[in-house]
Amino acid sequence: MLPDGRRRRLVLALAALAAVAACPQPLNARPARRILVLGAGIAGLAAARRIADAGHHVTVVEARTRIGGRIDTTRSAGFVIERGAGWIHGLTDNPLAALAKRAGLTLRRTSYARPLALDASGGTIAPERLAAAEDQMTALLERIDARTDSPAGVSLAKAIMQAQHGKAVPAVVSSLLRLEITGDLGADLEDLDAGSFDEDAAFGGGDHWITEGYDRIPALLAKGLDIRLGEPVVEVAERGDGLDVITAAGLYSADQVVVALPLGVLKAGDVMLPGASLGPRRQAMERIGLGTLFKLAVPLAGGLPDVDVILPADPALAPWTGLYPLRQAPAPAMMLIAGGRGARALEQMPVDAALAAASALLSRLRLPAIDRSKAWHVASNWSTDPFTQGSYSHPLPGGSAKDYAALAQPYGKRLFFAGEHCLFAHHATVHGAMMSGAAAARALLAA
């Protein structure tokens, strides 16, 4: 028997439900729509989360057997290692940082202000020499910026040569350019538009690691969503009143679709889209490239200095851009990062060859060797992964923010697009992908 208070609340609740059922729905009420989101990376999950929270039926289709896309955290060595995205870039006004804080995740700051710069023979470059090189680099880029529009139509490498009047850039300055540009965008200076490469925006507050692992972010967004894994998308086709999506596993019909697939997949034409939806998108994709960052985590046979980054400060040490001690490891370990075409070559060679290249670098820099007694290493392969075909986007010579805007443009009121390549202001970042997913959801809901 129910207590009187509970019985009274139950009777009132049933009466309210009966009243709702008896009342006709307002004439302007819109029924829940069937939405399909292609891709369970951060852009797709952000879009799906917002659409589902608005009360619509959402299904997410993902080619991989996991969610997260280019967020790929592994604990195979007994601690957190990030094969893909590693940092939250900036805390101030960053929605990704706000989400991490609401989830109670621990953020640990890293800083290029604590580097160890080494020359080609492993000698330490004095802090004052490094600071002078940073000033030279800043002045060089400011000269280029003052004389260059976006897009410039020429590469950053050519613009530097013109600004230097043919004189070679000092070795340490060249290495800082590689760290801060190639190590950021995964592209060589020859492959970047001189006027567009640095026209994006940034959040203040420094770079932070997520101690518990970056994969906690997509897991949080995915909670409660209907996600179908292991289903590569083959085609999106128009039909009279909606869209059909063909995957390797079957056919889905939807009122609206969000395409949140990586740019590499779209550029390769691996997914057929309605011909009329391509239009300016094709030309825009020709002016946006895909960079590569190769990441290789290894155990070391000795300890490292107490710094956040070790800078290989000589052009002869390319394509390596930076070496990062893994402070979360229980024993000495390091993440070696390379960028650009050389990074793509490292990903394409057998992993033993990549390990040998890393060993040679550590020896040359007189750093501890790889500990072969420990049977683990973690390597990325974003350029050879068929579901990414690159790390993330950058403006090629001639490319600009307009091309990113063209990729974000919806096709009518049924087909929407999201991904880091759809938001120039924050391209090549996780928060940019997340923000683009939210923007696509807002546009879809308003359509």
Could you read off the pLDDT of 392-423 as tens digits, one per residue? Answer: 999 999 999 999 999 999 999 999 999 999 99
- The CA-atom distances, in angstroms, between 104 and each of 153, 162, 220 are 45, 50, 11
Predicted confidence (pLDDT) per residue in 26-37, tens digit? 434 467 899 999
First and final CA of the chain: distance in angstroms? 51
Q: Are 36 and 51 in contact (CB under 8 A)?
A: no
| pLDDT > 90: percent of the chain | 88
Q: Are 342 and 319 in contact (CB under 8 A)?
A: yes
**pLDDT score recorded for residue 16:** 33
Q: Are 67 and 45 in contact (CB under 8 A)?
A: yes
Beta bridge partners of 251: 246
**What CATH class is the domain 34-69+211-288+395-446?**
alpha beta
pLDDT band, very low/low/confident/very high, at 106 (cuts 50, 70, 90):
very high
Alpha-carbon 164 to chain mean position: 33
Predicted confidence (pLDDT) per residue in 189-199, tens digit? 999 999 999 99
| pLDDT > 70: percent of the chain | 93
Of the candidates 66, 89, 64, 65, the one whose C-alpha atom is nearest the C-alpha of residue 388 is: 64
Beta bridge partners of 295: 337
Q: Which pTM value belongs to this model?
A: 0.91
Which residue has 């986007």 as its token pair? 393
If one looks up domain 112-205+293-379 in CATH, what number appears?
3.90.660.10
Which residue has 């239009």 as its token pair? 279
Predicted confidence (pLDDT) per residue in 310-354, tens digit? 999 999 999 999 999 999 999 999 999 999 999 999 999 999 999
pLDDT for 111 beyond 90: no
Element (H, E) at 354: helix 351-364
**pLDDT score recorded for residue 29:** 46
Q: Is 38 helix (H, G, I), strand (E, B) or coil?
A: strand
Domain ranges for the chain: 34-69+211-288+395-446, 112-205+293-379
Lowest mean pLDDT among 103-117, 300-314, 432-446: 103-117
pLDDT band, very low/low/confident/very high, at 10 (cuts 50, 70, 90):
very low
Which residue has 């299904």 as its token pair? 59
What's the token pair of residue 355?
A: 């390990």
In this prediction, residues 98-120 reach a mean pLDDT of 90
Cβ within 8 Å of residue 160, ≥6 positions away: 140, 144, 169, 177, 189
CA atoms within 13 A on the CB side of 301: 11
pLDDT band, very low/low/confident/very high, at 112 (cuts 50, 70, 90):
confident
Q: What is the spatial distance between Cα 426 and Cα 435, in angstroms, rounded to a whole number? A: 9
